[in-house]
Amino acid sequence: MYIERVPNRNSPPAVLLRESFREDGKVKKRTLANLSKWPDDLVEGFRVLLKGGVALPSLGDAFAILRSRPHGHVAAVLGCARNLGIEKLLDRRPSRDRALAAAMILARILDPRSKLATARALSRETLTHSLGEDLGIEDAGENELYRAMDWLLKRQDRIERHLAARHLEEGALVLCDVTSVYFEGSKCPLAKRGYSRDGRRGKLQIVFALLTSREGCPVAVEVFRGNTADPGTLGAQLEKLRKRFSLSRIVLVGDRGLLTDARIREEVRPAGLGWITALRAPAIRKLVKGGTLQLSLFDEQDLAEITAPELFPGERLVVCRNPLLAAERARKRLDLLASTEGELDKVVAATRRENRPLRGKDTIAVRADRALRRFKVGKHFDTIVTEDGFSYARNEDRIAEEAALDGIYVIRTNVPAEELPAEEAVRSYKSLSRVERAFRSYKTVDLKVRPVHHRLEGRVRAHVFLCMLAYHVEWHMRRALAPLLFDDDDPAAAEAARPSPVAPARPSPSARAKAGGKRTPGGLPVHSFQTLLADLATLTRNRVQPAAQGAVAADVLTRPTPLQAEAFRLLGVRP
Check: CB of residue 121 under 8 Å from CB of residue 488: no
> How much is the pLDDT for 255?
94
Q: Each residue of 491-539: pLDDT tens digit?
A: 888 888 888 888 888 899 999 999 999 999 999 999 999 999 999 999 9
- Of 54-58, 214-218, 305-309, 444-448, the one with minimum mean pLDDT is 54-58
Q: Where do the structural domains in the chain lie, given as residue ranges?
A: 2-55, 324-403
Cα–Cα dist 503/290, whole Å: 27
In terms of Cβ atoms closer than 10 Å to its own Cβ (0-12, 13-18, 19+), residue 351 is buried
Q: Are 268 and 275 in contact (CB under 8 A)?
A: yes
Q: What is the mean pLDDT of residues 290-304?
A: 81
Strands (E), 214-347: 218-225, 251-253, 274-278, 303-306, 316-321
Q: Is the pTM of this model over 0.75?
A: yes
Classified as helix, coil or strand, 301 is coil
237-250 average pLDDT score: 92
d(CA 263, CA 267): 5
Average pLDDT, the chain: 91
d(CA 536, CA 73): 5
Going along 213-268, which residue ranges are E strands? 218-225, 251-253
pLDDT band at 298 (very low <50, low <70, confident <90, very high): confident
Structure confidence at residue 538 (pLDDT): 95
Residue length of the chain: 575
Is residue 209 within 8 A of residue 236, CB to CB? The reply is: yes
What digits encode the pLDDT tens for the residues 440-498? 888 877 778 888 889 999 999 999 999 999 999 999 999 999 999 999 999 888 888 88
pLDDT for 61: 64
Res. 228: pLDDT tops 60:
yes
Closest CA to 288 of 334, 332, 319: 319
